[in-house]
Amino acid sequence: MPKLPKNEPPRPASIPVVTRGNAFWRDGERFFVKGITYLPRSSNRERGNREDSVDPLSEAYLPELKEDVALIRGLGLNSISLYNVDSSKDHSQAMAHLEDNGIYVMVKLFNDLEAPTAMPKNESNFKAKSATWPMYDNPLVTNAFRLVHNLSRYPNLLGFVVSGRCIHTPQTIPMAEVLRACIRDTKAFLRSLDGVRQIPVGVSADNSQIFMIPQVRYFSAGPAAERADFMAKQCYSWAGPSSFTMSGWHNMVERIGPETMMPMLMGEYGAKVRKSRPWDEVTCVVKIDEEGKRVIGQEYKNLRKRFNEVNGRSAEEIASEEVKSYEQWVGEFPPCDTRWQATSEIPPFPGNWDAVIRDVLGDLAPPGP
């Protein structure tokens, strides 16, 4: 059976990645995010846990993470994205192992944020603030701050992504105001932490083509304190045999490019091509032998070849790409109309700031005035 690929020692992920202009940077050089969404699925199935309750960085999943890191490195990837991390658990061993192996980590925030069950259906009865602003409450922000505090001191934390999954229909667009408040307050909390860098705070964007451009404009406009540092775009149109043009990706890139100076990455892509997805590709990529050990399959080699084609870009190609200025750019909010019902006015912080900080930091909280 084929063995796992032998890799050269990776460059440790000890130097933090920052955003500048429309790009990510590490140690003065362009950093291209090449990663996957990671979840220890075998343990998830065995233990009967819900997907959103599994913490891949916890000690319970550390043995599996260490096995998977070898596979991730073998693909030439430099990052993983996580849906769920438990702020009450210790993640030092997992983050240290990922750092040593050159892997950065991107973590979702505010996954529990939901749109109201009854949203207005047209502009005539549109009262966004009364319907959506109460969804941004004290428990939600306290839980998010605890997670930020838990992970903020790791150098290989690539960034936080405010989950935009609550915006999935035209009726839920008003929730964009709440997401901007999440971004604003997460950035403010990071600034309040002694000795902590200003970690990039981005937002994920839904797959919808209807409000794609207004969404990009909305989250990249306005003052830096409350706009997104980057956007993780979701696009599921490339399913099965297709191409950059046939899938519509070319059109998407051409449309978004002139609208923003914000760094962007593909947060999620791919789609089901059959009514029932059997996940045959999983056993093609990684197989389990008679002794329970993981060995790579042919599809893993094919996937590694594809990633190597991307990773093989020359320094000249990378240097020739345009770097836009985002720092001084303020953009323009999309008009609030029947297509986009969200304004630049956003919810205030839910509750007393000092009380929340004391709740999150405990004895580490700075003294009040």
In a domain, residue 56? The reply is yes
Q: What is the pLDDT along the chain (369 residues), one digit of tens a residue?
A: 334 445 567 889 999 999 998 889 999 988 988 888 898 865 444 444 555 578 999 999 999 999 999 888 888 889 999 999 999 999 999 999 999 999 999 999 999 998 887 655 554 334 557 788 999 999 999 999 999 999 999 999 999 999 988 988 888 999 999 999 999 999 999 999 999 999 999 999 877 777 888 898 999 999 999 999 999 887 666 666 656 666 666 677 777 777 778 888 877 766 666 554 444 444 555 555 666 666 666 666 666 666 666 555 555 565 556 666 767 777 889 998 888 889 999 999 999 999 999 999 987 776 654
Owning domain of residue 313 = 17-354
In a domain, residue 178? The reply is yes
In a domain, residue 85? The reply is yes
* Cβ neighbours of residue 138 closer than 8 Å, sequence gap 6 or more: 350, 351, 356
CA–CA distance, 117 with 279 (Å, rounded to integer): 33
User: Tell me, what CATH number does 185's domain have?
Assistant: 3.20.20.80
First to last CA, the chain: 66
* Cβ neighbours of residue 315 closer than 8 Å, sequence gap 6 or more: none
In a domain, residue 2? The reply is no
In a domain, residue 1? The reply is no
Q: How many domains does the chain have?
A: 1
């029947």: which residue's tokens? 338
Query: Reduced to 3 states, what is the DSSP secondary structure of residue 336?
Result: coil
In a domain, residue 4? The reply is no
pTM of the model: 0.84
In a domain, residue 360? The reply is no
116-142: b (≥16 Cβ within 10 Å) or e: beebbeeeeebebeebbbebbeeebbb
In a domain, residue 182? The reply is yes
* Cβ neighbours of residue 6 closer than 8 Å, sequence gap 6 or more: none
Q: Taking the CB of residue 351, how many other CB atoms lie within 10 A of it?
A: 14
- Strand order of the β-sheet with 264-269 is 35-37, 79-82, 104-109, 157-162, 201-205, 231-235, 264-269
